[in-house]
């Protein structure tokens, strides 16, 4: 029997990210919290990580995949989602940092899926007034893979290419293959036929408190890891104060809690998908 405060079976049966393999190798040992429960992670021989619970209760199961140490308190955790780009040998894998945010995982995922805030929150980088329109795009919940997918998403970006000052529409695809993880695919400046991947893996410390693990799997020979990290730190630093001023902090699943517009189709599908899963942790469920 586990002693976590979280009793939501949907969340307990997931794998949750704790730390990147690289960071753990540097630190040797790391203490963190998962679902209100303190844990210690140790870097062992040949990079094998061990995770032990601080205090009473059983230690979680451990998985090392996609460059991260994942843990689960479940009896039989769901297998982790596919992320084939991670395995492609010519891509660079760059973890771009961990951010503590006082908000629920659901709010952070929605912000990641949202294009409408680019001109206001990421002014001059991912968007710029007056080019504020979110054009029609497609969303589906893939039955076979149990994930929310948004395609044909286009948004005006002021400096669409590195070597250009001209703005243009950039195309994005979003995947939400896990209640707390999302991936963004964006055309690669280096190879137009392939797409760069940016990921957001959320570690729920509590219902209203997360660690956000961010990073990229990209085709890029020009930029240093440091400049890529710096870019992502700027972007996330702009999102954090907005996320922490969302009220309520937990994600409301009732369609009448907030006002959806067509631009929010992905978020609407995501909320409905969470409702259908019966997830209750970090959300405000629809009143029965």
Partner 1 sequence: MTIDLSQWHPIASSSDLPLRHVYQAQLHGREFAVWRADDQYVNVWENRCLHRGVRLSVGLNDGKELKCLYHGWRYSNRSAGCTYIPAHPADAPARTICNRTYPGVEEKGLVWSAVDPAGDFELPEVLKGCDPLVLRPIPLNAAPGLALSRLADLKLEGGTSRQIASTGSYSHLAFDGLDLPELVLFVQPVDAHRCVLRGVLKAVPADPAGTLRQFNTALNRLRTLIEAAAAEAPAPEPIAVDFRPIDEELASMPEISRSGPKAELRVTVARKWETSEGVAAFRLEPLSGALPTFQPGAHIDVHLPNGMARQYSITNGPGEGGHYTIAVKREPDSRGGSECLHNAVQTGDVLAISAPRNNFPLRRDAVKVTLVAGGIGITPMLAMARALDAQGIAFELHYFAQSKAHLSFPELLNELGDSVVTHLGLNPAETSAKLNEILADYGFARHLYICGPGPMLEATRDVAAKQGWPDEAVHFEYFKNTQEIDDSSTFEVALARSAMTLQVPAGKTILEVLQENGIEAPSSCEQGACGTCLATVIEGEPDHQDVYLTPTEKAAGDKIITCVSRSKSNRLVLDI
Verify binding: residue 3, partner 1, rule CB under 8 A. Answer: no
State how far the Cα of 101 lies from the Cα of 99, in Å rounded to an integer: 6
Reference 66, options 201, 224, 218; nearest CA is 201
CA distances in angstroms from 165 to 114, 115, 155, 157, listed in the order given:
24, 21, 16, 10
HSE, CB side, 13 Å, CA atoms: give it for residue 252: 11
Q: Does 161 bind partner 1 (CB under 8 A)?
A: no
For partner 1, the closer of residues 129 and 221 by Cβ is: 129
Closer residue to partner 1 in complex, CB, 245/276 = 245
Minimum distance, C-beta of residue 253 to partner 1, in the bound complex (Å) = 12
CA distance 219 to 92: 6
The answer to whether residue 207 forms part of the interface with partner 1 (CB under 8 A) is no
Comparison of 196 and 239: residue with beta carbon closer to partner 1: 239
Q: Is 121 in contact with 238 (CB distance < 8 Å)? A: yes
- Could you say whether residue 102 binds partner 1 (CB under 8 A)? no
Burial level of 226, CB count in 10 A (0-12/13-18/19+)?
exposed
65 binds partner 1 (CB under 8 A): no
256-285: which residues touch partner 1 (CB under 8 A)? 256-263
Least distance (Å) from partner 1 to the CB of residue 210? 17
How many binding residues for partner 1 (CB under 8 A)? 30
To partner 1, the closest distance from the beta carbon of 157 in angstroms equals: 14
Both structure tokens of 275:
């409702």
Q: How far apart are CA 206 and CA 196, in angstroms?
A: 31
Should residue 9 be labelled a site residue for partner 1 when binding is judged by CB under 8 A?
no
Which parts of 223-252 interact with partner 1 (CB under 8 A)? 241-242, 245-248, 252
| Site of tokens 């991947």 | 197
**Smallest gap, in angstroms, from Cβ of residue 129 to partner 1?**
8
Query: Is 277 buried (19+), middle (13-18) or exposed (0-12) by CB count in 10 A?
Result: middle
Should residue 47 be labelled a site residue for partner 1 when binding is judged by CB under 8 A?
no
Binding segment (CB under 8 A) for partner 1, from list 28-36, 114-122, 201-209, 227-235: 114-122
Residues that bind partner 1 (CB under 8 A): 110, 115-117, 119-121, 129-134, 241-242, 245-248, 252, 254-263
């Amino acid at each position: 029997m586990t002693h976590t405060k979280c009793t939501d079976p949907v969340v307990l049966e997931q794998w949750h990210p704790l730390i990147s393999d690289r960071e753990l190798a540097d630190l040797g040992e790391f203490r963190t919290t998962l679902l209100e429960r303190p844990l210690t992670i140790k870097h062992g021989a040949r990079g094998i990580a061990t995770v032990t619970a601080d205090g009473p209760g059983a230690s979680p199961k451990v998985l090392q995949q996609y460059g991260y140490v994942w843990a689960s308190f479940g009896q039989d955790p769901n297998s982790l989602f596919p992320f084939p780009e991670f395995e492609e040998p010519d891509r660079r894998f760059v973890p771009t940092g961990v951010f503590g945010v006082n908000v629920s995982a659901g709010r952070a995922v929605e912000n990641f899926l949202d294009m409408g805030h680019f001109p206001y929150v990421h002014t001059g980088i991912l968007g710029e007034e007056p080019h504020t329109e979110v054009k029609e795009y497609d969303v589906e919940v893939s039955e076979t893979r149990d994930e929310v997918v948004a395609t044909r998403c286009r948004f005006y970006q002021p400096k669409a290419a590195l070597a250009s000052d001209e703005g243009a529409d950039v195309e994005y695809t979003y995947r939400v293959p896990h209640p707390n993880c999302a991936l963004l695919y964006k055309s690669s400046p280096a190879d137009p036929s392939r797409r760069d991947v940016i990921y957001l893996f959320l570690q729920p410390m509590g219902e209203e408190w997360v660690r956000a693990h961010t990073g990229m799997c990209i085709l890029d020979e020009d930029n240093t890891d440091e400049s890529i990290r710096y870019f992502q730190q700027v972007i996330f630093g702009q999102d954090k104060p907005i996320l922490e001023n969302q009220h309520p902090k937990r994600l409301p699943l009732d369609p009448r809690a907030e006002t959806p517009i067509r631009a929010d189709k992905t978020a609407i599908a995501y909320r409905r998908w969470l409702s259908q899963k019966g997830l209750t942790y970090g959300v405000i469920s629809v009143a029965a």
